[in-house]
Structure 1
Amino acid sequence: MADESFIHPRLATIHDVLESDRSDLAPYIRLAERLGARRVLDIGCGTGVLALLLADRGVEVVGVDPATASIDVARGKPGSERVRWIHGDAGALPPLQVDLVTMTANVAQAIVDPQVWRTTLRVAYEALRPGGTLVFETRDPARRAWEEWNRGASYRVTEVPGAGGVESWVELLEVRGPLVSFRWTFVFAADGQVLTSDSTLRFRERRETEADLVAHGFLVDDVRDAPDRPGREFVFLARRPETSH
């Protein structure tokens, strides 16, 4: 189940303005270029920012997301006809053969159910051509990012074209083992509407994630830093082995 910030039409519509800095996507684009990827599957594509950036570069992209409102926003953007949009989780995908599978931002951590996570890795493996790459990021649990998730550190007012000022902030709700829950609040100055969006992320240890990948047949090529967040994230690059002859 997607969070309200992605499934509520009013929140999905303003998502790109609230998250306007997407410099985190640049390494994914560079990786696609370095690999010469011509076909990409973007799992948890959201409002389609990465999918459309890749499509602008002539890449054939399939974007899948369980949030209808986010997919609707993506479909309404210029150039969206160049992307194949699918509503659902990874298990809803038809047979594919791609060069690269991506899960950006919080996507991998938002898959908190172990069975759904296993299904996602299986589907990613099956969608990749032999030699194809899966790349995704997760926060390093040792950095305890949730300790900064409070109103004082996150409060801001964003001017949204056509919507006016929107106040937003995050508050930590609960830390239970590897699961961390938090709530975003949004206040619309135009009419005073208050909307909230609760989220839970799973903080996986590096060894746990590597073991999951190996268990699903991947070769782990690299675990690196996110360039814009050094020391905070694990970026996993895993490959489907070439078919043996």
Structure 2
Amino acid sequence: MHDVRVAIIAITKHGAAIASRLAPQIPEAEVVVSAKQAEHLGEFANIRKVYQGALSAQIADLFESYDQLIFLVSLGAVVRLIAPHLKSKDEDPGILIIDDAAQFVIPVLSGHVGGANAYAEKVSALLAATPVLTTASDVGKTIPVDILGRELGWRVEAPKINITRVSADVVNQLPIAFVQEAGSKNWWTRPTPLPDNIHRFERFEDVDLERYRSILWVTHREIDPSVWQRLEERLVVYRPPQDPS
């Protein structure tokens, strides 16, 4: 997995000042600033890129060159700027916005798969700001079905419709069976307790499939097509790395 490529983009005097505060705390970040505001940048070791003309002309290159884009630009302006360049949550970079007073950090795009939510929390801590998270699983402090175990090397295995439906069941607090037959036990990383609607099992055979609305199954087993068919859109499988023999 490559290092995260981060750009901090400023177009105002206040934005340049905030970028100057933030950049030294994120060594991997590069500061992208308009020529008009470059003189307002402070001293820091990060790479700085000065562009001429309109920010809109820079967006395509920013999307291609970075994994996280931190805009010190208004929310409405950013939405209009990025709209023509959006492809999918699997391809788009994480988009974050910091207001001109550095009070709030808002992940706008690719919160889960793109990592913007996690990065917003990191940036908020650095600025003593408030992260504004709107993703249901983050607000509800529950399992993020689409990226669970990603930092542990787990791969998710399920049709997209399953991930969507199971995610809805999780955030709506329906009964969920979490079956873990493989992988690290340290997958729950939130400071809050595991929600009461998530019930743990050590074997798939121990789950009463009529009782639980959805199943999250961490396993190395081959899963028979009949199981997928029986559970329709209720099953998401995670594949942890195989232990070296």
Shorter-chain TM band: 0.3 to 0.5
TM-score scaled to structure 1, two decimals?
A: 0.32
Higher strand share: 1
TM-score scaled to structure 2, two decimals?
A: 0.32
